[in-house]
Structure 1
Amino acid sequence: MKKTNPVLKATETAMRLLLTGCGLAAVGFVIVITGYLVVSGIPAIREVGLIPFLTGTVWKPSQDQFGILPVILTSVLGTLGAILIGVPLGLLFAIYLGKMAPKSIYQVIRPTVDLLAGIPSVVYGLVGMMVLVPFVRKVFHVADGVGLFSSIIVLTVMVLPSIISVSETALKAVPHEYEEASLALGATWNETVFKVTFPAAKSGIAAAVVLGIGRAVGEAMAIMMVCGNVANMPSLFTSVRFLTTAIAGEMSYSSGLHRQALFSVALILYCFIMIINMVLNFFLKKKDT
């Protein structure tokens, strides 16, 4: 009977305990964050009232008026617009890079995509403020170029690197035997890519979409520089405010009920992200079954 190496066994046990601890720590962080947001956000909702807080259209902390309906609608429309534009573009670009681009072009474009993913968000906001906003003002003949339209464009550019990178990795992970079998049956290369490779990589592509949505929902600094940060009802070419920018813009000087209301906004944002993840996971699992 072969003896087990005590050192190897101890190493495996230590690694198992370490990985288990990391998993439990991740769950613990989620529980702590959830509990903190609930405890900090509930008092303002109880004071203002859930329905007035969610459906009110006026945000005036100096008068104890806390209505976040315009902010919620702006966040929903901004995220939806960025995803509707960014996901198709990102997936098509990933297919081109992963399956169709010549090697010389790939070696130039792939590092560029990685570089875009590493650019700080404030740089995107600065470029948007200095280049995009004047361009929108000039082209669309509006008084100011800040607003929902500029925010959607900036968000689209910011989610593209994540979607492209993760989707391309998923496409390249598909076994070559799938493609060879498809080609052997008489399918063209384009048919093979879109009808065989793409469906086989759908789990990785779904992860890319979820990552892109998370980036769009959670962005604050870049959007603050191009949205105008005024709590108006959403419109393409007027100043608007997102859930994230509302928190980042006022938390530094808030106090009392105003500060509690901002924690309530954070709680609503947290619930918003949780709902998106649950809906996406539901549809993805439904497709898998």
Structure 2
Amino acid sequence: MSSSTPLSLRPNLDWLLRAASLGCALTAAVVLLLILLFLTQASWPLLQQPASLLGTTWQPSSGQFGLQAMLGASLLSSLLALLLAVPAGLLVSIWLIFYAPAAVARVYGAMLGLMASIPSVVYGLWGLVVLVPLLGAWMPPGASLLAAGIVLALMILPLLMVQADVALRESARRHLPAALCLGVSPWSAIRRVVLPAAWPRLWPAILLQLGRALGETMAVLMVAGNVVQWPGSPFAPVRTLTANIALEMSYATGPHLQALYLSGWLLLVLALLLMALARIYGSRT
């Protein structure tokens, strides 16, 4: 075979690679669209009656399918997780990048990888066995919105720190030397230059982790208390949309089943909106 044969095959190989990549992308988009269409069709009778879904009462046996309290619990637990995870993740990332010895930073990096690979049910088991009794001794019953927020914060923290590490290192590479040359202290340079410059890259990561927290099921099911109500305090038990689907899907029929499909539809739409916002915000940086 002549030496020119591999070169002559390259255009065909490039075309095959592009076609395969496009096929995979289109397949993923079509599957997502089909899921959205299925959930829309399955929940369409209830989507035509939005007023009945805005209540706080969930009693399928009486034909009451109010999703407001569970949607609120999903949003509040996820936002609470961000409130706990974002400051902690940023502070630890700053310490690891700028202050920690290299050996310690490597150990922490390995630990983050391990934490990110732990199944969610393990976090839920820890929350049920350790966290819930601790909170219950302080403010009964223990299983609560706060417990769900803490467990979710631990779950999203590893990936959030990995993404923060990338953003902060890139910002420091670009801006830290110039800031130090102006005579400011390292902490002032990090706080006033590096961190603000990294925020445009951090926001998409935060939005994506919010989407992950909204979709978590098993861990929240184990620690939230599973009471359908608007929480009067962080210590009140709640039930999220994902937990409600997991608890009731096995025996739901008729309008009850349609309401559960509608819960999935709401979660999917929220996730798509968060992904779109992250994409739009990331494209502007």
| TM-score for both structures, normalised by structure 2 | 0.89
1:38 paired residue among 15, 37, 40: 40
Query: d(CA) in 2 for partners of 1:282 and 1:16?
Result: 25
- 1:231: which partner in 2? 228
Q: State which drifts further: 248-257 or 205-214.
A: 205-214
- 2:21: which partner in 1? 19
- 2:201: which partner in 1? 204
The code of the aligned residue for 1:51 comes to A
Q: Report the Cα offset of residue 273 of structure 1.
A: 2.7
Name the CA shift for 1:157/1:263 in 2 (closer, same or farther; >3 Å).
same
- 1:128: which partner in 2? 127
Q: Report the Cα offset of residue 98 of structure 1.
A: 2.3
- 1:10: which partner in 2? 12
Q: State which drifts further: 183-192 or 162-171.
A: 183-192
Q: Percent identity?
A: 34
- Over the aligned positions, Cα root-mean-square deviation in angstroms equals 2.2
- 1:86: which partner in 2? 85
- 1:75: which partner in 2? 74
Q: Is the 8 A contact 1:163 1:211 kept in 2?
A: no
- 1:247: which partner in 2? 245
Query: d(CA) in 1 for partners of 2:84 and 2:266?
Result: 25
- 1:146: which partner in 2? 143
Query: d(CA) in 1 for partners of 2:106 and 2:282?
Result: 33
- 1:119: which partner in 2? 118
Q: Deviations over 1:159-218 (max 9, x none)?
A: 111110111122233473532222223233223333333344334322321222122111
- 2:51: which partner in 1? 51
Segments of structure 1 that go 5 or more residues without pairing to the other structure are none
| TM-score for both structures, normalised by structure 1 | 0.88
Query: d(CA) in 1 for partners of 2:51 and 2:276?
Result: 23
The code of the aligned residue for 2:193 comes to V
Q: Deviations over 1:33-63 (max 9, x none)?
A: 22111111112333xx21121x212111122
Q: Is the 8 A contact 1:70 1:231 kept in 2?
A: yes
Corresponding residue SS for 2:56:
coil
Q: Deviations over 1:46-92 (max 9, x none)?
A: 3xx21121x21211112221111111111121111111121111122
Q: Report the Cα offset of residue 278 of structure 1.
A: 4.6
Name the CA shift for 1:177/1:155 in 2 (closer, same or farther; >3 Å).
closer
Query: d(CA) in 1 for partners of 2:147 and 2:174?
Result: 44
Q: Is the 8 A contact 1:59 1:68 kept in 2?
A: yes
1:28 and 2:30 are equivalent in the alignment: yes
Name the CA shift for 1:15/1:275 in 2 (closer, same or farther; >3 Å).
closer
Query: d(CA) in 1 for partners of 2:22 and 2:198?
Result: 28
Q: Is the 8 A contact 2:211 2:270 kept in 1?
A: no
Query: d(CA) in 2 for partners of 1:174 and 1:15?
Result: 34
Q: Deviations over 1:126-163 (max 9, x none)?
A: 000000110001122x2x21111111111111111111
Q: Is the 8 A contact 1:166 1:207 kept in 2?
A: no
Query: d(CA) in 1 for partners of 2:275 and 2:159?
Result: 17
Query: d(CA) in 2 for partners of 1:233 and 1:178?
Result: 46
